[in-house]
Structure 1
Amino acid sequence: MSRTAEQIAALRRALDAETRATSDFDLNPEVVLPAGRILRPAGVLLALTDGADGLNIVLTKRSSRLKHHPGQIAFPGGKQDDVDADAIAAALREAEEEIGLPRNRVEILGTLPGHETVTSFAMTPVVGLVRGAFDPVPEPGEVEEVFLVPLDHVTDPDRFSVQFRRWRGTRRHYYTVPFGPYYIWGATARVLRGLADRMGR
């Protein structure tokens, strides 16, 4: 069995595993979230492409001109609009807009548990295989760069570390999983750590 086939089989098992939803506050148990808070639905795409040594995951570096999270590493995706049937449709639409990935080229494998962000989004991570060659076309207003990271790198728990910074007057702890010049942290790293934990079961 090829490395890609092994990874796809492991992903399918991981997506079937029962685990809880995640949050940007997972490493900060002292934070008390208000009851009745309203979260906006969103979908992000964990798009996987086939490479010489197995699957790679497509990530973006957000434009430094954006108001929210400028320059951060993120999955393609965004908030669910009225035109979207669900979070999967939102993730596919946003990926097409942000990086030029045709939605009909993505085979959906499933979704990971929802993730609550500090910006009050209820984010659904959607896992999909990109069929055939894909040349990304970054949307200039939103995406500064599109790059690939080996799936093996971001599903290895030993690659992750916990760091912190000051946020609203307190220490906020978060996962990081650096790759070369790219500092992957926050919600993106938390979702990847959740996938890593599921694949290691």
Structure 2
Amino acid sequence: MTGAPQSLLRDRLLRALTTASKPSSDYDFDKTAPGERALRPAGVLAAFDGRGRLVMTKRASGLRHHPGQIALPGGKVDPTDADETAAALREAHEEVGLDPAQVEILGTLPAHRTVTDFAMTPVLGLIRGEFTPRPEAGEVEEVFTVPFAHIADPANYRVEKRRWRGDWRSYYVAPYGPYYIWGATARVLHALALRLNP
């Protein structure tokens, strides 16, 4: 998707950013959630390339936290980051080799509360020009892309559940080919899909 089609994608994403929605949380399906406590700020980059495909990662299997999981590039806000957007751009550069200068930032979605006590802010953007991913050794096992049509269709999301810390937890999934997109990542993408289809 180049030229005019990317401008159409840009318009759809900008319209989605103006659509009101409730904050999301990993506890959306639970009857009880932990009380108020300080959350650590984080930013993740939901960036679409020139073909209208979302750049995603498969985390390395040897990582201590979330090994092998599908994720958007991003991470916690460091003291040197101005905000969540800066953190998302920095992490995307480190994890997949994306030059921040190539990214047109469109805006942010409401922060998503994770079970690991992060307030994860999704940052929407478009990648300008050619981009060849360079996975960060030891952190990222694979970089792949998912078509906008898959991300934008609420019908591609479903709710599954599993036992976690002695209790049943429900969460969104949006599988794509061999990639099992689930948890917080699927939840924020589902929120985007709902905004794209008000």
Structures share fold, TM-score greater than 0.5: yes
2 CA distance for matches of 1:49 and 1:31? 39
Counterpart residue number, 2:54: 57
Q: Equivalent residue of 1:164, what SS?
A: strand
1:26-65 map, 5 Å:
26-28=28-30, 30-35=31-36, 37-51=37-51, 55-65=52-62
2 CA distance for matches of 1:117 and 1:155? 22
Aligned with residue 161 of structure 1, among 158, 162, 176: 158
Q: Equivalent residue of 1:140, what SS?
A: coil
In structure 2, stretches of 5+ residues that fail to align are: none
- Per the normalisation by structure 2, the TM-score is 0.96
Counterpart residue number, 2:25: 23
2 CA distance for matches of 1:6 and 1:162? 30
1 CA distance for matches of 2:9 and 2:45? 17
2 CA distance for matches of 1:23 and 1:2? 35
Superposed displacement of residue 112, structure 1: 0.6
Between the two proteins, what is the percent identity of the paired residues?
Answer: 57
Superposed displacement of residue 2, structure 1: 4.4
Counterpart residue number, 2:91: 94
2 CA distance for matches of 1:85 and 1:125? 15
Partner deviation per Cα, 1:49-94 (whole Å, 9 max, x = no partner):
021xxx1000000000100000000000000000000000000000
1 CA distance for matches of 2:166 and 2:41? 27
- Output the aligned Cα RMSD: 1.1
Superposed displacement of residue 20, structure 1: 1.7
In structure 1, stretches of 5+ residues that fail to align are: none
Aligned residues: 196
* Amino acid aligned to 1:23: S
